[in-house]
Amino acid sequence: MIELLFEPGDLARIRFARSPMHEVMSSMRVAGHADRARMHGPWVRSVRGPVSALRLELLRPLLADPRYVPEFLMPSPDRMDTRFADELARVRTTPEGSVRAQLELLGGGAPLPETLRPLYDDPERHLGRLAAEVQAYWQVAIEPIWSRLAGLLDAEVGYRAEQLTSGGIVRLLGNLHPELEYAEDALRILWPTWRSQSRLDGAGVLLVPCVFAWPSLLVDTDPQCPTLIYGPRGVGKVWDGPARSPAPPVADLLGRSRAALLARLDLPLSTTQVARDLHLSAASVSEHLSVLRRSGLVTSRRSGRQVLYQRTALGTDLLGAASRASIR
């Protein structure tokens, strides 16, 4: 069991962030887990061809150890709107000593694969090559679905915020993951083969929901930024996809653009995301959203600098009723 001991100041330092880079690295390990491969089957099938065409000569062996991922590949995000480009820049500028020290931990200290020797011998030169591989993978495997992933992650954080409001820290941390337990000012990771205890000493805990981490719990006990990476609720929603073609009665009632927008908002999305997905102007989407919100079909909330919109239960009922009526 890993035990993290809280002081009062640590409770005030519990925060959430999302990380495109965590999704990149976790997604590359999906094939090695049968349950994840089944859950993410539609995505696996859609990217198999494009990913197999990539030359990932450094990235693949870096992720081959099932027990350890070098920390420089998954830098701790510092906010909810962390950008992939910023994380990639951090990977590219990792200090040479950190790269070598973390490579030495791969494979439990076994000799490095020959493909990784150049990175070990000359990190400054080959980190650029590694960053190019990561970017190529991002562009074909994660960037096309990032708005869906981000929507689910935003929904997760919104749900946890409601738990904190209604039940405090105990409720927030108590059902975050089956392997977590919070009691008596201690957060316990229930891993029977581990034995460690540490005080957070004001560092708090960073909570990072990650779609491709499901159903695992990943733990980084770095004293500067203790981090828990876990799968968010409703992972399957990402691949269910929105109802792209609303039933004719809804389009007749709301208009085609508003009906399509309502169908798209099964997960929280910003005006910009919806406009891009539906090929509409941001101004037009904003106007439609205002009407739908006043009608009680859409709700909105602020997340950092963005306002996120999501379909309400009434909106979902309307789409469902219209679909049933069109079948009759």
User: What local confidence, expressed as pLDDT, does residue 169 receive?
Assistant: 85
Distance CA 73, CA 56 (A): 14
- What CA–CA distance (Å, rounded) separates 193 from 95? 32
Which pLDDT score, from 0 to 100, does residue 163 have?
85
Cβ partners under 8 Å of residue 122, min gap 6 = none
Beta-carbon contacts of 157 under 8 Å, excluding residues fewer than 6 positions away, are 16, 18, 80, 209, 303
Residue 48: CA atoms inside 13 Å, Cβ hemisphere, count? Answer: 8
Q: Does residue 274 contact residue 264 with C-beta atoms inside 8 Å?
A: yes
pLDDT at position 247 is: 60
The per-residue pLDDT for 127 is: 96
| Amino acid 324: pLDDT | 58
What is the dihedral sign for C-alpha 229, 63, 221, 124?
negative
Contact 159, 230 (CB under 8 A): no
Q: Mean pLDDT per segment of 10 residues, for the chain of length 328 residues?
A: 86 91 94 84 92 94 88 88 93 95 85 92 95 97 90 86 84 88 87 84 91 90 88 84 61 86 84 84 91 91 80 85 56
Cβ neighbourhood burial of 45 (10 Å; 0-12, 13-18, 19+): exposed
**What is the model's pLDDT at position 277?**
78
Whose CA is closest to 147, among 311, 5, 267?
Answer: 267
Q: Give the residue among 255, 286, 51, 242 at the shortest CA–CA distance from 148.
A: 242
Gap between the Cα atoms of 152 and 91, Å rounded: 25
pLDDT of residue 186: 86
Q: Residue 113: helix, strand or coil by DSSP?
A: coil
For residue 327, what pLDDT is reported? 47
Cα 306 from Cα 328, distance rounded (Å): 41
d(CA 132, CA 235): 29
Q: What is the pLDDT of residue 83?
A: 93
- The pLDDT assigned to 140 comes to 96
